[in-house]
Amino acid sequence: MNSSSVTKNSQQSLHIPKNFRMILVICFAFLGICVIASLALGSRVVGFNGLIDGLFHRNIDSYEVNVVRNRIPRTVFSLFCGAALGVSGALMQAVTRNPIADPSILGVNTGASLFVVCGIAFFNISTGNEYIWLALVGAAVTAVFVFGIGSMGRGGATPIKLVLAGAATSAALASLVTAIMIPRSYVMDQFRFWQVGSVGSGTWSAIATFIPFLIIGILIAVITAPALNALALGDDVATGLGVRTGILRLLAALGAVVLCGATTALAGPIGFVGLLATHVIRLILGPDLRFVIPMSAISGAMILTVSDVCGRLIGSPGELEVGVVTAFIGAPILIILAMRSKVGSL
């Protein structure tokens, strides 16, 4: 039996979770509310008429209409970044069989940050297109390194070992980032706004740059989902079902790195979205990745967009970057999850 037969058998035995259609409708309704809130709320609250005019009446020119139009690309960018981080978190948790795996926890975001700051300091890069490729390489190198370190010793890559390896690697890389920036004030000025994590830089140009990576990453996630379900039963069982576990892990990790790296390059290292999005969906729908992955995209989009709106309202008349908001929400939840006995493995 090969991987294609596993996929075919999985499709034939597709069991739709209870109340899935109702949950899907509720999620899309809440997503619509998030979009409206993102367009209407901020340092300037836009009324209903201004919102309608900004969305549908292009011939009207007023302050409120211009505010809405300026927020549209930011909202779209926030939705895409949240979806990417949600799917990336689901893939990382599936590959490592670690329920608290997340790009920020495993140090992948910090690895992407290090390569970006090196590009700014030593190669004078300054555009999103240049950031993306460096961030992807940094994220990939860090992911391989953390998994390699976490796999050493007896028992292989256990969840706790991966988290410890990720935390240690992240601390070391963060120190390198600081060491590069301190003697170079121009790098610090350029990097410090990006480092916090924000969707405020979302433009149509950034969205166009991001879309190909988003599509590639989500396609990889959807294609590998049935085989990842088999992997959750253990390597021996998955191999017996015809899954090539090494190739599967490599492909799924590639999808996670593409999504995480591209998001980090354009929005900065936003943490905990993948962790929160995937856990919420798994609690509601169960462990089947054929449902967890697409619903994690919706959940991640909602979480990041709501966090962005909260940051704008809390920091008004300025704004509190979304990376700060997600960290404030996610850190206590991570502690709670780490204290639970079920954190041992998926």
Domains belonging to the chain, first-starting first, are 3-20+73-300+323-344 (1.10.3470.10)
What is the reported pLDDT for 194?
A: 67
First to last CA, the chain: 24
CB 122 within 8 A of CB 199: no
Burial of 85 (0-12, 13-18, 19+ CB in 10 A): buried
What is the reported pLDDT for 156?
A: 63
What is the reported pLDDT for 12?
A: 43
What is the reported pLDDT for 321?
A: 85
What is the reported pLDDT for 339?
A: 66
CB 92 within 8 A of CB 255: no
| Residues 6 or more apart whose Cβ sits within 8 Å of residue 130 | 119
What is the reported pLDDT for 3?
A: 47
Burial of 338 (0-12, 13-18, 19+ CB in 10 A): middle
Coil, strand or helix at 332 = helix
> What parts of the chain have a pLDDT lower than 50?
1, 3, 5, 8-12, 341, 343-345
pLDDT tens digit sequence for 71-99: 999 999 999 999 999 999 999 888 887 77
Task: Write the CA distances from 44 to 41, 252, 319, integer angstroms.
Answer: 7, 42, 11
Closest C-alpha among 346, 310, 345, 344 to residue 327:
310
CB 78 within 8 A of CB 202: yes
What is the reported pLDDT for 29?
A: 95
What is the reported pLDDT for 1?
A: 40
Amino acid code (one letter) for 107:
G
- Report the b/e string of 222-250 with b at 16+ CB within 10 A: bebbbbbbbbbeeeeebeebbbeeeebbe
Burial of 315 (0-12, 13-18, 19+ CB in 10 A): middle
Please state the length of the chain: 346
